[in-house]
Amino acid sequence: MASAARPRLSTWGMEIPILFRNPHFVVLDKPAGLKVHAGPGGGPSVEDWFPHLSRRKDGPWLAHRLDADTSGCLVVALRKAALVAAQAAFAEGRVAKTYWAVVHGGPKEGEGVVDLPLRRVTDPSGWRMVGGASGDPAVTEWRVRARAEGLAWLELRPRTGRTHQVRAHCAALGCPIVGDAIYGAGGGRLMLLARAISLPVNPPVSAEAPVPPHMRAALDLLGY
């Protein structure tokens, strides 16, 4: 895991800290608001930084995805064999992921599991994930780390990797993530951090992301 003086990638006038690096993988500390893929609307994406990571023909590739509004650990494979190994670990549910979220209200219990299948629904206002038996299996473990002034600090460990899973499952608990305009009331930046990740590949990959500036005041209030 990287020390306090982490190396950084810079382009588009932006910097992305590197949390972990070996010859096969890099774990980036993706800033909130940065897309992972280039989209039709243009603008920067994580892929714009790939030439700084490797100039090999067989890479780099994203090993998984994060929402544009989510900050934290993002794994990039530097070689094709590494990508295949990472994809197998994700598909088999062997990757350990930890998220931190600041939510409105909070569950009554101190910990639990959300087992709610999710499916994508599109309407004129856009798309979102909704719960229901017809969806794909989605399971998230959660626990309350702290509560204060109508907020709660949740630690979440998704067992599956559905799109928007943590966001939709927090809303299903009755405590949408602060700043979530899709599953909550919006009003500011999304307070969701991909805090840590561990891939059981050879050699193992492990990284932990620091709290981003836009979440720091709320987490300090909650005793961080």
In terms of residues, how long is the chain? 224
Q: What does the block give as tokens for 156?
A: 């979440």
29 is catalytic: no
Within a 10 A sphere around the Cβ of 185, how many other Cβ atoms? 11
76 contact partners, CB below 8 Å, separation of at least 6: 25, 26, 27, 28, 46, 50, 53, 60, 61, 62, 63
Determine the Cα–Cα distance for residues 158 and 13; give it in Å rounded to an integer: 33
The helix/strand/coil state of 217 is: helix
Q: Which of 135, 133, 140 is nearest to 171 (CA)?
A: 140
From 29, 67, 69, 180, the catalytic residue? 67
Determine the Cα–Cα distance for residues 112 and 107; give it in Å rounded to an integer: 9
Report the catalytic residues: 67
